[in-house]
Structure 1
Amino acid sequence: MSITAIKENYALLSELVYNAIKDSILKGELPPGEKISESSLARKLDVSRTPVREALRILYAEGFISLMPNSRFMVNEFTKEDALEVLAIRRLLEGEAARLAALSRDERKAEIIDRQRKAIPEYLQHLNDHSPSESMSFDMEFHRDIYELSGNSRLLELGEHVKDRQVRAYLANRWEEEDFVRKFTSQHSEILDAIEKGDAEEAEAKGRAHIDYLISLLK
């Protein structure tokens, strides 16, 4: 096997381990306050400790777990109040990102909108096959594209730093509800329509309404 193939296979293994651990957190199999053992996870997943260690490092950076004084990790607790605070920030960021995206003259604009439009029916076609982590990735990819189209690198950086992964984790069980998913993806389509029309005011309103919907689910 070539070095390139080994690297590619190892990268795939690391991603699979990361997704497996994250899904365990999202599903509550690793509940808040649970202490995490590298060796136990490695045995459970039938892998070496190295990809487990790398996965835990990423989950720590994303705020899913915290490092204890004894150098062991623990699953973080994320409350409704935490989620509402993060969503209040996201509401402002998403609205501004959509507004700027509508005004953008980025040559990739049509391509990005087209890609995201195609992604929605593809996702819905296999609705029952997606894991929580795959659903989160689908949503994060959409919003990252909107931030990219905004053309504002600082706004993109702020969006990346807001720990909204935990909000998605808090709402993870909602991705199993068809009504929620169809409403959510319908709002994605509305945001794309406003951006494509170049209607900055409508795009901003749709971007904020999208987050308002999440807020309403938590109140």
Structure 2
Amino acid sequence: MARSQQALHTIPAESARSADDVYLSIKDALASGQYGAGQYLREEQLAKSLGVSRTPVREALRRLDAEGWVETRPNYGVRVKAWTLQDAREIFEARLLVEPYLAGRAALSIGAGDIARLKALADAMLAITRHPSTPEACEAWFTANGEFHAIITAAANNARLDRSLRSMKETPLIKWTFDTYSDEDRERSARQHFEMVLALEQRNAAWAEAVTRCHILAAEKAVLDRYDREHSAS
């Protein structure tokens, strides 16, 4: 599910000593697919790339192991976790429990400024569907979609659930979902975004919950269908 490896961005000098910055930098690289599933992460190489000692890198890898991003193999080292079909099912199941609820809550309190921004993002995503799919288009879609959903869940005013949901959606699986989409999938998703905005604008919590649930179920189907295609062909 991961993309080809890219260079890990070096942390700016002024923040290089922060263990949290090291952790976030490595986590961002994992989330964006810069390291392939099963690839080993070497402390010395990471430390050199980030301009830090091996100690904060070691601490970061321990945290990422506890969160399920990597796995430690005794006598071998730390490698990137390979996401499985079960991982996908669990993430979508959790999203279905949390995200529609937050959308319904958001419908009761979201402000006009957020509604305006959601409309602009929905327009941007619709425009992307009218052009051929490219890596750049997928990245633009991923970024706009991430902001769109983050605005909605933040508007629900439940910080704990919002943080939990964001953690789930930081996995490489989410970006892989967008790479999976066909042109028809993207058009359907774009239409659902407009329907979400309308439900929020109408302060209709039940409608907002329903369309969000349909939106997640459609994404899940795209991922599971791709998994079936790739494994039936192998």
Task: Work out whether the TM-score is over 0.5.
Answer: yes
Name the SS for the 1:120 alignment partner: helix
Name the structure 2 match of 1:206: 211
Deviation at 1:78, TM superposition (A): 1.0
> Which sections of structure 1, spanning at least 5 residues, go unmatched?
9-13
Asked if the contact 1:83/1:166 (under 8 Å) is kept, the reply is: no
Question: Does residue 165 in structure 1 map to residue 167 in structure 2?
Answer: no
Deviation at 1:204, TM superposition (A): 0.9
Q: How does 1:26-175 map to 2 (within 5 A)?
A: 30-37=35-42, 47=49, 49-50=51-52, 63-69=68-74, 72-104=77-109, 106=110, 109-123=111-125, 124-125=127-128, 128=134, 130=136, 135-162=141-168, 165-174=171-180
Deviation at 1:168, TM superposition (A): 0.8
In structure 2, distance between residues paired with 1:131 and 1:71? 38
Asked if the contact 1:101/1:195 (under 8 Å) is kept, the reply is: yes
Name the SS for the 1:151 alignment partner: coil
Render the CA deviation track for 1:115-144: whole Å, top value 9, x for unaligned.
122123334448635376654443332222
Deviation at 1:214, TM superposition (A): 1.6
Identity across the alignment (%): 25
Name the SS for the 1:168 alignment partner: helix
Amino acid at match of 1:112: D
Deviation at 1:21, TM superposition (A): 6.0
Name the structure 2 match of 1:190: 195
Asked if the contact 2:106/2:200 (under 8 Å) is kept, the reply is: yes
Asked if the contact 1:78/1:170 (under 8 Å) is kept, the reply is: no
Q: Name the structure with the higher helix share.
A: 1
Deviation at 1:97, TM superposition (A): 1.0
Amino acid at match of 1:196: E
In structure 2, distance between residues paired with 1:17 and 1:201? 39
Asked if the contact 1:33/1:77 (under 8 Å) is kept, the reply is: yes
For the aligned residue pairs, the C-alpha RMSD in angstroms reads: 4.0
Q: How many residues align?
A: 202
Name the structure 2 match of 1:11: none
Asked if the contact 1:63/1:163 (under 8 Å) is kept, the reply is: no
Structure 2 vs 1, CA of residues 119 and 135 (structure 1 numbering), >3 Å: closer, same or farther?
same
Tell me the TM-score normalised to structure 1 length.
Answer: 0.69
Deviation at 1:67, TM superposition (A): 4.1
Name the SS for the 2:155 alignment partner: helix
Deviation at 1:172, TM superposition (A): 4.8
Asked if the contact 1:32/1:75 (under 8 Å) is kept, the reply is: yes
- Report 1 or 2 for greater relative contact order, CA contacts < 8 Å, sequence distance ≥ 6: 1
Structure 2 vs 1, CA of residues 185 and 19 (structure 1 numbering), >3 Å: closer, same or farther?
farther
Name the SS for the 1:171 alignment partner: helix
Tell me the TM-score normalised to structure 2 length.
Answer: 0.65
Render the CA deviation track for 1:91-132: whole Å, top value 9, x for unaligned.
12121111111111x5xx211121122123334448635376
